[in-house]
Amino acid sequence: MVEQATAFKVKKVEKSRVNQLDPENIVFGTLFTDHMLVADCIDGVWQTPEILPYGDIAYNPALASLHYGQSIFEGMKAFRNVADEVVMFRPEENFKRFNISAERMCMTPVPEDIFLGGLNEVLKLDAAWVPKGEDNSLYLRPFMFASDVYLGVRPSYNYRFMIIMSPAGKYYSEPPKVKIETEFIRAAAGGVGYAKCAGNYAASLYPAKLAQEQGYTQLLWTDAETHTKFEESGTMNVFFVKDGKLITPKTSTTILKGITRDSLITIAKDLGYEVFEQDVYVKDIVDGIRDGSVTEVFGAGTAVVVSPFSGIGFEGEDIALPAINSSSVSSILKENLDGIRKGQIADTHKWVYKV
Ligand code: COI
């Protein structure tokens, strides 16, 4: 249940910019809604959150998060359902994960009424920004950063929590071609792989850039110790279809516990698929693509939803995957996920929250 916040200071825009939104032509992460939420935690005490016109924020050059990376975020979406209502998908799960990330990064947890209540408030105000259209949604980005002005290395005493929102369409315009990464690593056991912290994304940029220079869209990360097992892909968890069964790496301290991942596993089981969360070996998958037993590899995440890969690069060789059609497992899972979110399929797990 999403709680209402008791008090928010609200300063509305004089004139909405929603006419800048063209639902036919949305580029991810480039346009932001009229309002944003700002809440400061000062010496452990959360101040009254403010909803303000979207805009720049001033920062001191000694802001701790700029130097030592105490910064976390969530990725969530709001949808317009078939009854034209605005809904969020499993927001409590993002709230829980946010504070798991906060704990790992030694940051003050955010209270539910600020996180969930705040989302509710900004969404009500900017509901007109939730676009219609099959693959369209409003991407919600709660985030928090250390706001001490201090150069010593220690956890900050002060934090700023914010929510910004941005219309989203398809994240990838074409099915990604991914490279199996066997040199660089994303995360090691005992590290911060399971936390949605900014540094995880920063550290992935250089290996991803090298792969992009070789013609790949993204990386498929392997385990830090042996590079023989799959972990996750950049910006998404990863699934494999082998002999009609759905397989995904089991979560650990090195893998983000994706909410889309969890939803797809549940939907697949509901639909009667066999699902295995286990170690997934690179060799088995590469051999399986070659002998035809592995028919699909796809990413799953809030931003990408369900994103089938066109092919995989391994040890300098490109291995194509069969084309996807409407009876592919990934298509069926996506159709069911979209159907639940848009109110076309019964929400038996109570995942949809009406704003
Ligand atoms: C999301 O799916 O929300 C993510 O966090 C990926 C993002 C970095 C684009």
Pocket test for ligand 1, best of 217, 302, 305, 306 (most atoms within 8 A of CB): 302
Alpha-carbon distance values, 199 to 148, 230, 252 (Å): 18, 21, 18
Structure-block tokens of residue 216: 């790949």
pLDDT of residue 173: 87
Nearest-atom number in ligand 1 for the CA of 171 is 9
Beta bridge partners of 9: 50
- Report the helix count and the strand count for the chain, using DSSP H and E: 7, 20
What is the Cα–Cα distance from 13 to 213, expressed in whole angstroms?
Answer: 43
User: Ligand 1 centre from 235 Cα, in Å?
Assistant: 5
Q: How would you classify residue 215: left for phi > 0, otherwise alpha for psi between -120 and 50, otherwise beta?
A: left
Instruction: Report the nearest-CA residue for atom 5 of ligand 1.
Output: 75
How does pLDDT run along the chain (355 residues), one tens digit per residue? 555 545 899 999 999 999 999 999 999 999 999 999 999 999 999 999 999 999 999 999 999 999 999 999 999 999 999 999 999 999 999 999 999 999 999 999 999 999 999 999 999 999 999 999 989 999 999 999 999 999 999 999 999 999 999 999 999 989 999 999 999 999 999 999 999 999 999 999 999 999 999 999 999 999 999 999 999 998 899 999 999 999 999 999 999 999 999 999 999 999 999 999 999 999 999 999 999 999 999 999 999 999 999 999 999 999 999 999 999 999 999 999 999 999 999 999 999 999 9
Instruction: Report the nearest-CA residue for atom 8 of ligand 1.
Output: 235
- Residue found under tokens 């040199």: 183
Tell me the one-letter amino acid at 195.
A
**Which residues, 6+ apart, have CB-to-CB distance to 272 below 8 Å?**
none
Sign of CA dihedral 335, 265, 350, 124: negative
User: Ligand 1 centre from 97 Cα, in Å?
Assistant: 13
Nearest by Cα to 233 from 224, 223, 220: 220
Tell me the one-letter amino acid at 126.
D
User: Ligand 1 centre from 303 Cα, in Å?
Assistant: 5
Assign 206 to helix, strand or coil: helix
pTM of the model: 0.96
Tell me, using a 6 A CB cutoff, whether residue 94 lines ligand 1. no
What is the Cα–Cα distance from 208 to 227, expressed in whole angstroms?
Answer: 16
pLDDT of residue 235: 87
Tell me, using a 6 A CB cutoff, whether residue 235 lines ligand 1. yes
List pLDDT tens digits, range 66-89: 999 999 999 999 999 999 999 999
Q: 89 with 77: CB under 8 angstroms?
A: yes
Sign of CA dihedral 199, 202, 206, 208: positive
pLDDT of residue 4: 52
Nearest-atom number in ligand 1 for the CA of 196 is 5
Structure-block tokens of residue 133: 């259209």
Structure-block tokens of residue 105: 């990064």
